[in-house]
Every structure is written in C-alpha cells, then in structure tokens.
C-alpha cells in the first residue's frame, strides 16, 4: 500500500498523520524508514549528494521509478555514480524540491518508491 503524504515543513514530513522529523525512504511495500544518509556523508561530507552506496541501499529490483524530494529548496542531487547505477537498473529518477515531490508521489502509480530530504 502506497502511503499518502499529508505535508512537509522545514525539518519534517507528515505521512498518513505521522510526523517524521528526519529524512525518510518509502519502500515499494509502503514501509517508511529513516534515510541512512551516513552512507553518503561518509564519502562526500554531506547528505546533499546521494552516493553509490546509498543508491544501492535505496534501490529495490522491482522499482521502476524513484521520486527524490531534494529538500525544501532543492539541494540534494545524485552523484554521477548513483545516476549511472539507476540508469543501468532502468529506474527513472525524478529529482524535485520536496513540496513538489510530495504532489508527484501522491499522484503516481506503479512500482515506485521515494526518498525525501526534509531540510535545505
């Protein structure tokens, strides 16, 4: 079941009435989990660049589309290695500011998942 995202404000996202005050991943099965941004921070010194290691952690084989909420003003981006990885897996990646990504997520259908950065 794909959960509905209610809203976001700087530093939080509300999913099905539950407020999360950290970045989240919504898995293919609808499970919401905390983003493991340390995987990217260890390589780039920031969680604003999604590393190959984090891309591998996020990806699920059945996923055809990944919606990434890049933050309130859109600071998150993919590393070249992560972009190449998703391309090889034939997984479409939509990078959108988090408020816009929420609207896209709520309207989307099919085998999708998401990652939402809730600050910056």
| Token pair listed for 50 | 């999604």
Residue pair 10/72 in contact by the 8 Å Cβ criterion: yes
DSSP string for residues in 21-34? -S-EEE-TTS-EEE
- Fold exhibited by the domain 5-117: Hypothetical Protein Mth938; Chain: A, (3.40.1230)
User: What's the predicted TM-score (pTM) here?
Assistant: 0.96
Q: What per-residue confidence (pLDDT) applies to 61?
A: 95
pLDDT interval class at 107 (50, 70, 90)? very high
| Cα–Cα distance measured from residue 101 to residue 95, given in angstroms and rounded to the nearest whole number | 8
Domain coordinates in residue numbering, the chain: 5-117
| Token pair listed for 70 | 């890049």
CA 62 vs CA 26, 28, 38, 59, 116: distances in Å: 14, 8, 25, 9, 20
Residue pair 108/68 in contact by the 8 Å Cβ criterion: no
Give me the residue label for tokens 């990944």. 66
Q: What per-residue confidence (pLDDT) applies to 1?
A: 83
Q: What per-residue confidence (pLDDT) applies to 69?
A: 98
For 39-54, what is each residue's pLDDT tens digit? 999 999 999 999 999 9
């Amino acid at each position: 079941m794909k959960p509905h995202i209610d809203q976001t404000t700087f530093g939080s996202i509300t999913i099905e009435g539950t407020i999360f005050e950290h970045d989240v991943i919504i898995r293919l099965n609808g499970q919401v989990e905390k983003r493991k941004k340390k995987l990217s921070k260890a390589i780039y010194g920031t969680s604003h660049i999604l590393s190959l290691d984090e891309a591998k952690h996020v990806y699920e084989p059945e996923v055809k589309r990944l919606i990434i909420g890049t933050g309130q003003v859109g600071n998150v981006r993919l590393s070249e290695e992560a972009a190449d990885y998703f391309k090889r897996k034939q997984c479409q990646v939509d990078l959108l500011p988090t408020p816009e990504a929420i609207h896209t997520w709520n309207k989307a259908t099919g085998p999708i998942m998401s990652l939402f950065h809730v600050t910056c």
